[in-house]
Amino acid sequence: MTKYNFFAGPAILPKQVMAKAAESVIEMGDMGLSILEISHRSKEVVEIMENAVSLTKELLGIGDDFEVLFLSGGASSQFYMSAMNMLGENETAGYVDTGAWSTKAIKEANAFGNVQVLSSSSDKNFSYIPKGYDIPSDLKYLHVTSNNTIFGTQFQDFPDSQVPLICDASSDIFSRPLDMSKFGILYAGAQKNLGPAGVTLAIVNKEFLKKQARETPTMLDYNTHVKKASAFNTPPVFPIYVSMLTLEWIKANGGLSGMAQRNAEKAKILYDEIDRNSMFKGTAAAEDRSLMNVCFLPVNEDHTAAFIEKCAEAGCVGVKGHRSVGGFRASIYNAMPKEGVETLVEVMKSFESAHA
Amino acid sequence: MTKYNFFAGPAILPKQVMAKAAESVIEMGDMGLSILEISHRSKEVVEIMENAVSLTKELLGIGDDFEVLFLSGGASSQFYMSAMNMLGENETAGYVDTGAWSTKAIKEANAFGNVQVLSSSSDKNFSYIPKGYDIPSDLKYLHVTSNNTIFGTQFQDFPDSQVPLICDASSDIFSRPLDMSKFGILYAGAQKNLGPAGVTLAIVNKEFLKKQARETPTMLDYNTHVKKASAFNTPPVFPIYVSMLTLEWIKANGGLSGMAQRNAEKAKILYDEIDRNSMFKGTAAAEDRSLMNVCFLPVNEDHTAAFIEKCAEAGCVGVKGHRSVGGFRASIYNAMPKEGVETLVEVMKSFESAHA
C-alpha cells in the first residue's frame, strides 16, 4: 500500500530525491566512495554546495545583494542568532506573535535588545494572522513567522513595512514566489520543503548585515559563514546534498510558480471538503488558512481516534493534530502528491457516510 | 577497484553501515517511509536516539553520572559553547595548545573568562604533545584536544589533573577505551569515527554541569538538551541514525578494546614502514604519534605529487597532507580495514624500489 506522509516535519520529500540520495549513500557518482564519507573540501562537495546556493538564488530570483548560507542548529538557533547579530542593546525590533515559534523567537530576542510585540493572535489561540497594526519606522527590523505549522495559518501577504523583515520561513520556504526585496534575513530549517533535518538555510541581505549590532562567537557571526561559503567548519554535507536534489526537483517541476499552483490546488481540494463535510470543521480564519498545514477538528470529539485509524488504513499517516489545537493536521508540503490529498478526502467522505 | 578512503574527515565509515543507511533512505524498516521524512517524535526515531545514547554509554562504560547529547554545530560550536556554559567572567580555565583546533578553542574561550595556556607545542609546529607543565588546582577546567588531525599527534595518556577535563575528542572518540572519570565534558564532531557530518556528540558530567557559569540563549544551554533528550528542537535525525549504526558496528566488532587493538596494529604497520623506508620520514614525535592520522613527508620534496599519483592508482585516496604540515597524511580511523593500510604500504615499497 502507498503511504502518504502527512507529518508536519521532518516531512515528505520527493520519491525521486530519496532514490537518488540512497544511491549516493552507496556510491557518489563513480567515485567509489559514499556521499557520507567524502571530504567537504573535495570538488564533488564544493560543487554540491555551489549548486545548492545557485539553485536557491535562481528559484527565489535573487542576485548578489543576498548571501545564501547553509548552517546548522535549526530555526531554533536562528531565533537567537538573528537577534544576537542584528539587535543592539539600545535598539528596538518589532515582532508579530503568531504562535509557538514566534513566541520562542520573541523570548530569545529579549536577551539582546528591546522587543516590541506589535500584534499577537494569542487571544484566539493563534487561529488568525494579525493585521492593521502600526509598524514604527525606527525599528531595526520586523520579525514574522510566514507559516505557522502548529496553528495552520500563513501570511498570504507580508506586512507593508519600511523596515526590513526577518522571517522564519521554515514551513513554507520554496512553496511560492516571494518578493525578496522585503527581507533582511529569511531563515528556514530544512525539514519541511527543503530536505531532511540537519541543515538550516539563512538568506541574508548584504546591506542589512552591515548593520550588525555586536561581536559574537565566531560560529555565530553570519559573516564567518559568508566569508567561507558555509564551509568555515565541516558543514552537514548529506542534508545539504539532499536539499540540493530537492531544489533541482523544484526547478524541474515548474519552480516556485509551479509549486504555488499545485499547492493552491491541493489545499483547495482539502479545505473544500472540510467546509462541505458535516463531520469536520476548520480551525484557522478562512483568509489566513495555510496552504502547507491544514488543521481541522471533528465536530464530535469522540470521533478523533476513529478517524485517525481510518486514515492509517488508507495509508494516510501523520494526520494527528498538535496538542495545542487538537483534532487533525494534514501537512501537504510541495512533495505531497495530489493523490495523497484525494485519498485523504475519500477517507473523510467515507467517514461521513459511516457516521452521519 | 576497491577505493581506500584516507581522508581526514568527513571520513571512512563501515561499508555495512552505509549499506544499511542507504536501505533506510528508501524505506525505514517496513514503515513505507524513508528515514529522511519521518517525524523526530515518531517511535522509530525516539528509539534510534535512545539506542544511540545507550550504546555510547555502554561502549564508554559510563552510567547515570553523565548525560549523552546529540547536538549540531560541530566541535567548532563546542569551542564557544563549553566556555560560555562553564567559564565565568572571573574564573580561569587552563588550555593546552596542541595545534589549529586547540588554538581556535582558546580564541573562543577568551571571550568568556580568563584563559591560561598552560603549555603549547607551537615552537615545533605542534609536532609533539606538551608534558610536565603545572596544572593549578583552582582552574575551572582544563581543555585538551585528544588527537590532532592536522599534526598527527595524540595524547597517549591524559594529564594527571585535579580539575575536570573538557576534551575535544572529535578525531579519536570511540577509537580506544577512556577513563571517563577524568572528564567534565567530552565533545566530538561525528565525521571521523562516529558518523557523517552534521551531528556533534557532547558527553557531560552532571556534577560538573551544576557549576554552570552564566545564562545563555536557550539552544546554547546544555541543560536545554539534557531536559529534552536532545530533542528540544528537531535533531539531525539521519546523521544520528548513521551514528547509531556505527556504534552498533563498533559493539559487534569488539567494542573499544577491539577498536584499540586493531587501530594499534594498523598504525604499527604504517609507522614501521615510514621508519624503514628511505623515501619517507614521520613528522610527529615518536611517543606522541597519532593512531588515527599518520603524517609523513617525502625525503625528497619533489616526490610529493608523484607519490600521491601512485597512491591514487592503487585506490588509496585522500593521502595529501594538510598545508600546515605538507607531505602526506593517511587517516586510518576505526573503519579503515587493515588491507587499506597494507595497500598503502605496498605503494610506499614500490615507490622506494622505483626511486631509490
Quote the pTM value.
0.98
Q: If you average pLDDT over residues B251-255, what whole number do you get?
A: 98
Residues of chain A with pLDDT under 50: none
In a shared domain, residues B214 and B316? no
Annotation marks residue B249 as catalytic: no
Predicted local confidence at residue A356, as pLDDT: 81
In a shared domain, residues B152 and B263? no
**Tens of pLDDT along B271-325?**
999 999 999 999 999 999 999 999 999 999 999 999 999 999 999 999 999 999 9
When computed from its CA atoms, the radius of gyration of chain A, rounded to whole angstroms, is: 21
Verify whether the Cβ–Cβ distance A219 to B189 is below 8 Å.
no
H or E element that contains A343: helix A338-355
Residue B9 lies in a domain: no
Annotation marks residue A131 as catalytic: no
Kindly state the percentage of chain B with pLDDT values over 70. 100
Residue B1 scores a pLDDT above 90: no
- DSSP SS3 for B88: coil
Verify whether the Cβ–Cβ distance A76 to B232 is below 8 Å.
yes
Verify whether the Cβ–Cβ distance B219 to A76 is below 8 Å.
yes
Q: Which of B75, B84, B238 sits opposite A238 (nearest CB)?
A: B238
Predicted local confidence at residue A196, as pLDDT: 97
Q: Please answer whether residues A135 and A116 qualify as being in contact, where contact means their C-beta atoms are separated by less than 8 angstroms.
A: no
Provide DSSP, A20-35: HHHHHHH-STTSSS-G
- Given B97, B140, B168, B320, the catalytic residue: B168
Provide DSSP, A266-281: HHHHHHHHHHH-TTEE
- DSSP SS3 for B118: strand
CB contacts, 8 Å: A197 with chain B: 40, 234-238
> Which residue, among B36, B324, B333, would best test binding to A if mutated, counting the most A CBs under 10 Å from its CB?
B36
For Cα atoms A232, A143, A148, give the angle at the middle one, nearest 5 degrees: 95
In a shared domain, residues A290 and A179? no
Residue ranges of alpha helices (H) inside chain B are 15-26, 43-60, 74-86, 100-109, 206-209, 222-227, 237-252, 255-276, 304-313, 338-355
Distance between CA atoms of residues B206 and A47, nearest Å: 43
Q: What does the mean pLDDT of chain A come to?
A: 97
In a shared domain, residues A204 and A345? no
Sign of CA dihedral A170, A172, A175, A177: negative
Verify whether the Cβ–Cβ distance B234 to A5 is below 8 Å.
no
Q: Which of B10, B22, B232 sits opposite A39 (nearest CB)?
A: B10
In a shared domain, residues B263 and B152? no
Predicted local confidence at residue B333, as pLDDT: 98
Residues 6 or more apart from A50 whose CB is under 8 A from it?
Answer: A229
DSSP state of B181: G
- The residue whose grid cell reads 538573528 is A82
Instruction: Label residue B330 exposed, middle or buried (CB < 10 Å: 0-12, 13-18, 19+).
Output: buried
In a shared domain, residues B301 and B207? no
Question: What total of structural domains would you count in chain A?
Answer: 2
In a shared domain, residues B113 and B220? yes
Cell of B5: 578512503
Instruction: Label residue A237 exposed, middle or buried (CB < 10 Å: 0-12, 13-18, 19+).
Output: buried
**Tens of pLDDT along B147-179?**
999 999 999 999 999 999 999 999 999 999 999
In a shared domain, residues A71 and A217? yes
Verify whether the Cβ–Cβ distance A236 to B235 is below 8 Å.
no
Give B7's pLDDT tier (boundaries 50, 70, 90): very high
Q: Which of A36, A215, A318 sits opposite B18 (nearest CB)?
A: A36
Q: Which residues pair with B165 in a beta bridge?
A: B142, B183
Residue B200's domain comprises 15-252
Closest CA to A45 of B170, B7, B228: B7
Predicted local confidence at residue A1, as pLDDT: 87
Residues 6 or more apart from B25 whose CB is under 8 A from it?
Answer: A18, A21, A22, A25, B34, B35, B36, B238
In a shared domain, residues B136 and B177? yes
B159, B160, B165, B169 alpha-carbon torsion, rounded to 10°: 40
**Tens of pLDDT along A77-86?**
999 999 999 9
**Distance between B222 CA and the closest CA of chain A, angstroms:** 14
What ipTM did this prediction achieve? 0.97
CB contacts, 8 Å: A29 with chain B: none
Verify whether the Cβ–Cβ distance B33 to A3 is below 8 Å.
yes
CB contacts, 8 Å: B217 with chain A: 79-80, 84, 108, 111
Verify whether the Cβ–Cβ distance A18 to B34 is below 8 Å.
yes
Predicted local confidence at residue A326, as pLDDT: 96
In a shared domain, residues A224 and A286? no
Predicted local confidence at residue B356, as pLDDT: 81
In a shared domain, residues B208 and B332? no
Annotation marks residue B310 as catalytic: no
CB contacts, 8 Å: B84 with chain A: 217
Give strand ranges (E) for chain A: 4-5, 66-71, 92-97, 114-120, 142-145, 147-148, 153-154, 165-168, 183-189, 200-205, 280-282, 293-298, 316-317, 328-331
CB contacts, 8 Å: A11 with chain B: 37
Instruction: For residue A311, give the CATH number of its domain.
Output: 3.90.1150.10
In a shared domain, residues B235 and B264? no
Q: Please answer whether residues B348 and B277 qualify as being in contact, where contact means their C-beta atoms are separated by less than 8 angstroms.
A: yes
